[in-house]
Structures are given as structure tokens and as C-alpha cells.
Amino acid sequence: MENKKKYLISAIEMILVFVVTICVFKFIVIPVRIDGSSMENTLHDKDIALINAIGVKEENIQRFDVVVIYSDVLNEKIIKRVIGLPGDTIEFKKDVLYVNGKETKQDFLDEKFVEDSKLTYNAPYFTEDFKVKVGKGEFFVMGDNRLRSTDSRVLGAFTINDIIGSKGAVIFPFSDIQWLD
């Protein structure tokens, strides 16, 4: 009888741990495995990150936040950087970002990576010229590797309902550990 009670308690504990783990990884932090080079040189192919899923509200998303988005077009989760907020006019001219007509620095981009990429892909610019008005309630996102990213330039803007997490940390490989702001 004692053994049955011990097994029952152990089984209940295991189920409880399982349920708590599922809830943590569904509602608090989202594990994401980076697939591809669209976020180079910030994130690398096969990096593993934990992304914050708490407090994903329009007012909490800031320009240049790294976000995980569900893309209906691609039928998958993608990780990108917020460039345009609701109501913004985003323009790129000769690799310079203008937000609402004001030049805006992109300090997260590695200058050597940008120059090397332009040489590798024989591209005059890292980001082709374009201008777009971000709609109300929408976010314009781009990969950090502009020459190899499928993002809002192709997929269109995303809404807050598409964003499933923001910010977080790369946890693997250990050589790439970093906070994602």
C-alpha cells in the first residue's frame, strides 16, 4: 500500500512539473531556434534564444526591439527587428534610415558586416531604397541582414496579434550568449 502511495505521489509530481514546464514555455518564455542568416550579424543560424512572451502589447514594443512574429504567409515563426512603429513613415535612401523624415542611426548593425555583405553579394547598398507608411496598429520589421531577409518589405507590416514575443536572450551556443533588446 505504501509503495502505491509513493508511486501515485511521484506520478502527480511528474504531471505537475510537465504542466508547469509547458505553461512556462508557452506563456512566459518562447524557445526559438534561429534558422537562416536573415538576422546576421546579431543572431546566427542555429542559435537558440529564449524570447519574452509576457507583456506583448502595442505600447511595449519599441523601435529596434527584436521580436518573434508568426507569419501567416510563411506559416512559421520568424525573428526580426522592429523598424517602423504604427503611423511611422519609413524611408531608406542610400543605406540611410529616415523615420518620419529624420535620419535615424542603426547602431545594432555591424559596419564591417555591412560592407563585407555588399562586396559578397555585389550590391551597391545594404538596404535598397524604399519608402513606406506604416498603418495604424501595424509594425514594420526587417532582418538585420537586409540582403538576405524576407521581412515586411515582402510580407507587409504585422499587427500586435502577430507578435508573440519580444526581447530575450541567446542561450546557445555559449560563445553567442547575449541579451536581445
- Please identify every residue annotated as catalytic: 38, 80
**In terms of DSSP H, where are the helices of 56-145?**
111-120
Question: Which residue's C-alpha cell is 521581412?
Answer: 151
| Residue 41: cis peptide before it, omega within 30 degrees of 0 | yes
- Cβ–Cβ under 8 Å, residues 38 and 153: no
Question: Which residue's C-alpha cell is 550568449?
Answer: 177
Q: What's the rounded Cα separation, in Å, for the pair 175 and 172?
A: 7
